[in-house]
Amino acid sequence: MHLMKNGQPCGRRDNHRGQCLSPEAWKRANEDKQARLNRYDDNNRNDVFDHYGRQCAYAEFGNCAGRIEIDHKDGGDWPTGRRPNNTSGVKLYRKLVRDGFPDDFQAVCRHHNVQKSWLTDAEYRLIMNMRMGNTEGTPESSGDAVETTRILCSS
């Protein structure tokens, strides 16, 4: 680890001269680079929301509130597993642009994203339809999935 003259860790290294820089000096030396990176990230974010939309995918269920976020339609196993890399913020926007805007993502409001949590899009739509009293398209069998859905709806 490189240290500044006062003994504090600097966290940065000037590779051209082999001298340590303070965070403030690094920021001054790299203002153009940081501004360019910020513009790149802003452009990626705008491209992502231009593609996926700027309105909640669950607007038909009402109660949309909060900012619009990007959500993975298939949910995930975060409660039981490790959170995957590149799943939020600018890293996610970069990945979506690089991968050509995959179809398994959607724009949703913060309220519905938190409610949906790790459920799949189909599971969440089924629950929301049942909460609204719309039984059209719901499975007729009384299997475990339907019973679980009924339990979730009643809570």
The predicted structure's pLDDT at residue 41? 92
Q: What is the reported pLDDT for 50?
A: 96
Q: Which two tokens stand for residue 140?
A: 């007729």
DSSP E strands, the chain: 13-14, 19-20, 68-72, 105-109
CA distances from 26 to 8, 14, 36, 143 (A): 15, 8, 15, 61
CB 132 within 8 A of CB 87: no
Return the pLDDT at 77.
54
| pLDDT (0 to 100) of residue 144 | 47
* Cβ proximity of 65 and 111 under 8 Å: yes
**Predicted local confidence at residue 16, as pLDDT:** 44
- Cβ(18)–Cβ(35) under 8 Å? no
User: What does the domain layout of the chain look like in residue ranges?
Assistant: 13-118
Using CA atoms, how far apart are residues 124 and 118, in angstroms rounded to an integer?
9
d(CA 32, CA 44): 18
Q: What pLDDT score was predicted for residue 1?
A: 45
Q: Which of the residues in the chain have pLDDT under 70?
A: 1-23, 76-87, 135-155
